[in-house]
A and B are shown apart, each in its own frame.
Chain A
């Protein structure tokens, strides 16, 4: 007699031709996550992404800490992009507490978050390069990233975990000769990243490797709810800095980069174009920034919000990053939810990898601009 097993416990039928491969969860090739890939020979039949190995409970932790003490741990999901991760949280708390951010702080926030975006993208580009076997593309971004890290260290006092943004402005004003220092570095940085074109993006070997791999059509990109560079590489012009300008972005001329192909090559080129755009934004912001003034609103200890809820989102290095805060007249948030770009981009991985060669897996996987720690929160 055969007993009917409940759904979920049923045994899988095994095909002789199909082999299951676990890519991850140890680091090589996947980050802190697992891809359960079924292959038929060299071709991928199905792919099941399995995140959750680095879940830290950031959202639950936030319910037991007040609005200021939440800052250091909320930037942990993506320490390389820590300013952008804190940005929606600060915007949300400012609306809850009714704070008006000083004009100078708005511009300094834009500069810090654009610098941080470049730092993040350089780190991502280094990993993308090394996983495609292009070791020069690991060394160059990792080295040039140091220029901006050094600048951010002079502003915020830490290399990666800045804890720089606070509800009501920024922690401290910039050092005395900041504008000169920033302009010099950003100009040199721009000159350097333009050199990447010849060795990486116009390199016929890379083009033949990534062009046409993992094509995401415009309709699929919208249907699957992707954001950021993945969405813009598929031909959808959606950049929150332009569509829903926050802080000083409304007064700056922001150009969003769009490519139509939707393949790995386009997805890897968009962040590089974003870095060039970031350099433009920083130069504009330096020009328009008020030369002096307050940078932070003085807060009472343990500030309380009303019975209210708020949702704010910003464009991070990986796409739209939202923060939903519910307040119940307490110094702590009643509920805090982070809606992150990485998790949304993860959903299209099974669609992209189906029918691809196994060798294309790293090219497709890393082109999604996916950060496992952020997806798990």
Chain B
């Protein structure tokens, strides 16, 4: 192949892309859809359930304050600390529950794997930025709230290339 033909072919393959749909995800307007409601773990079988590893969700009615999540996090990020909670639960004699510092968390999900009581799951919420470091520390009361997420963009394949719709 001659030099001129090669350059023309290279240009041609670039010019073709003028007619191809834009692949870019327009982020704040569009948000990618994930599978399920976030990463979960089933301690009876020892296998997780596929999902996005985002902000945690804590179920106060299941947490026994056993600290296994905090122990699992010790060697990873030291993001989980156990704190006193006001409300009294019969199954939680010590009255302590995890508090997660998202300035340190690496979202590996090993704390979810460690929980034997189905009390800690992860959700699809990943927009956690804040203006202060203190606001990144989520108390048990904040972790209890199920996040509101609106994610619906998916990759669509057609004859004119892939696009986010």
Q: Are A and B part of the same complex?
A: yes
> Which of B3, B7, B23, B108 is most buried by chain A, counting CB atoms within 10 A of its CB?
B108
**Known contacts A65-B75, A184-B157; is A157 also within 8 Å of B109 by CB?**
yes
- Pairwise interchain contact B10-A296, C-beta atoms closer than 8 A: no
- Pairwise interchain contact B50-A199, C-beta atoms closer than 8 A: no
B19 within 8 A of A: no
Tell me, rounded to whole Å, the shortest Cβ–Cβ distance linking A79 to chain B.
11
A295 within 8 A of B: yes
- Pairwise interchain contact A147-B162, C-beta atoms closer than 8 A: yes
**Known contacts A158-B107, A195-B13, A204-B7; is A175 also within 8 Å of B36 by CB?**
yes
- Docked Cα-Cα span, A65 to B46, in Å, equals 21
A283 within 8 A of B: no
A54 within 8 A of B: no
Annotate B13-36 by CB proximity to A: 1 below 8 A, 0 otherwise. Answer: 110000000011100000010111
B53 within 8 A of A: yes
Number of A-B contacts (CB under 8 A): 109
- Pairwise interchain contact A69-B76, C-beta atoms closer than 8 A: yes
- Docked Cα-Cα span, A298 to B12, in Å, equals 55
- Pairwise interchain contact B23-A146, C-beta atoms closer than 8 A: yes
- Pairwise interchain contact A294-B53, C-beta atoms closer than 8 A: no
The 8 Å CB contact of B45, one of A184, A188, A205, A298, is A298
**Known contacts A69-B75, A163-B109; is A157 also within 8 Å of B7 by CB?**
no
A352 within 8 A of B: no
Q: Which residue of B lies closest to A66 (CB)?
A: B75
- Pairwise interchain contact A198-B36, C-beta atoms closer than 8 A: no
Contact count band on A? 35 or more
Annotate A155-174 by CB proximity to B: 1 below 8 A, 0 otherwise. Answer: 11110010100000001111
- Pairwise interchain contact B76-A73, C-beta atoms closer than 8 A: yes
- Pairwise interchain contact A172-B10, C-beta atoms closer than 8 A: no
A64 within 8 A of B: yes
- Docked Cα-Cα span, A39 to B53, in Å, equals 50
Tell me, rounded to whole Å, the shortest Cβ–Cβ distance linking A150 to chain B.
6
- Docked Cα-Cα span, A207 to B3, in Å, equals 10
Residues of A within 8 A of B32 (CB): 150, 153
A136 within 8 A of B: yes
B102 within 8 A of A: no
Residues of B within 8 A of A143 (CB): 23-24
**Known contacts A65-B75, A157-B51, A171-B48; is A204 also within 8 Å of B155 by CB?**
no
Residues of A within 8 A of B122 (CB): 157
A134-159 interface (Cβ within 8 A of B): 136, 143-144, 146-147, 150, 153-158
- Docked Cα-Cα span, A121 to B46, in Å, equals 33
- Pairwise interchain contact A163-B36, C-beta atoms closer than 8 A: no
A222 within 8 A of B: no
Tell me, rounded to whole Å, the shortest Cβ–Cβ distance linking A231 to chain B.
29
A361 within 8 A of B: no
A173-B47, A199-B10 given; 5 more Cβ-contact pairs under 8 Å: A71-B110, A147-B155, A198-B10, A204-B1, A204-B3
Binding site for A on B (CB under 8 A): 1, 3, 6-7, 9-10, 12-14, 23-25, 32, 34-36, 38-39, 41, 45-53, 72, 74-77, 106-110, 113, 122, 155, 157, 162
A-B contact pairs, 21 of them (CB 8 A): A69-B74, A70-B75, A72-B108, A136-B14, A147-B162, A153-B32, A157-B50, A158-B53, A161-B107, A163-B109, A171-B47, A171-B48, A173-B48, A199-B10, A200-B10, A202-B10, A204-B7, A205-B7, A294-B47, A295-B47, A296-B47
